[in-house]
């Protein structure tokens, strides 16, 4: 198992968090994740976005921005509910991870 396997859920939560705040698009979220040390290629990110959309966590809409067409993703009500639940679980887990320090 690689370290990437450990972080895949965190990446999804990060995407869901930003998509709950405002519409996001692929390149912007790649850059955002890069600021946190995650290096994702479009070939890795887009299957994640599509998977989250097919599970009902995200909804996408194509829009023209400048001269480009971009697909923007927003969190659905189910995605927002899942994020809220995940935040509670992450808070508990993080507390446990750092108890001994």
- 73-101 per-position pLDDT tens digit: 999 999 999 999 999 998 898 888 888 76
Q: Which domain holds residue 37?
A: 3-97
**CATH number, domain with residue 42:** 1.10.10.10
How far lies 34's CA from each of 17, 28, 40, 48, 78, in Å?
Answer: 15, 10, 8, 16, 26
Give dist(CA 17, CA 5) in Å, integer. Answer: 20
How far apart CA 53 and CA 47 sit, in angstroms, is: 10
pLDDT tens-digit series, residues 14-47: 999 999 999 999 999 999 999 998 899 999 999 9
Domain count across the chain: 1
**pTM score of the predicted model:** 0.85
CB 82 within 8 A of CB 9: no
Contact 74, 62 (CB under 8 A): no
């Amino acid at each position: 198992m690689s370290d990437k396997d450990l972080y895949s859920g965190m990446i999804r939560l990060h995407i869901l968090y930003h998509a709950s705040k405002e519409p996001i698009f692929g390149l912007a979220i790649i850059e955002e994740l890069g600021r946190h040390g995650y290096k994702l290629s479009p070939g890795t990110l887009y299957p994640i976005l599509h998977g989250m959309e097919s599970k009902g966590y995200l909804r996408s809409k194509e829009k023209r921005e400048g001269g480009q067409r971009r697909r923007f993703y927003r969190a659905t009500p189910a995605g927002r509910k899942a994020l809220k639940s995940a935040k509670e679980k992450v808070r508990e887990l993080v507390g446990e991870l750092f108890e001994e320090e």
